[in-house]
Amino acid sequence: MKIRAVLFDAYGTLFDVHSVALLAEQLFPGCGDKLSVLWRDKQIEYTRLITMSAAPGDEARHYLPFWDITRASLRCAAARLGLTLLPAAEEQLMNQYRHLSAFAENHEVLKTLKRRGVSTGILSNGDPGMLGVAVKSAGFADLLQHVISVHSVRRYKTDPAAYALGPATLGLPAREILFVSSNAWDAIGATWFGYTTLWVNRSGAAPEQLGTEPTFTGRSLRDVLDHFPASAQPTRPTRST
């Protein structure tokens, strides 16, 4: 089987969700890391709550765009930690989240994939506006052919409807697409859906214990390049957003 394209998760994989911790620490001394971690945990918890509560044919009933979920989870995290989140501080943190830092090796990896003619894209929970700003801010706009948001189906990963957007957009079977995520739960969900998967285990975390493993495991985005050697010259599709 030949892998013909690669799709990246965005938040946690291309963009460091905990790069907000520095600003959080400046605003709430001694609580920056705690706020960052709880903020992220609530964000993912809310996506699951919304998707699991959606009835078939009524996906929009509880749906909130990812930007709204991100704000709601920030407010919840601050309240749980007993922090007074004034409107100005909230806007500072939300703006920082809009412009998250990219991991150090990512730009060069994407440039290398482009030189090798590999079709690349994002498949993310982020809504289109968030993703557009993040991609442009990181300097990735010319390095990704596809930016796919689950917003169109109103269901968040790991729902099959979210993962199905990848094959539908690329016109390829899931098994011929390398799905790359630093989130272990996301890598497992994508594996169950049928993608060839790479879990970028940056922290050396223990694997999930569900009887399923990602197809591959690595420690940085550079491991993606092993699956697209320089000698391979796949045809690149027309860029889509």
Active-site positions read: 9
Catalogue the E-assigned strands of the chain.
5-8, 119-124, 146-149, 177-181, 196-200, 216-218
Locus of tokens 């690349």: 120
Question: Is there a contact between 12 and 39 (Cβ–Cβ < 8 Å)?
Answer: no
Both tokens assigned to 59 = 């996906």
Element spanning 73, H or E: helix 66-80
Burial class (CB in 10 A: 0-12, 13-18, 19+), 87: exposed
Burial class (CB in 10 A: 0-12, 13-18, 19+), 123: buried
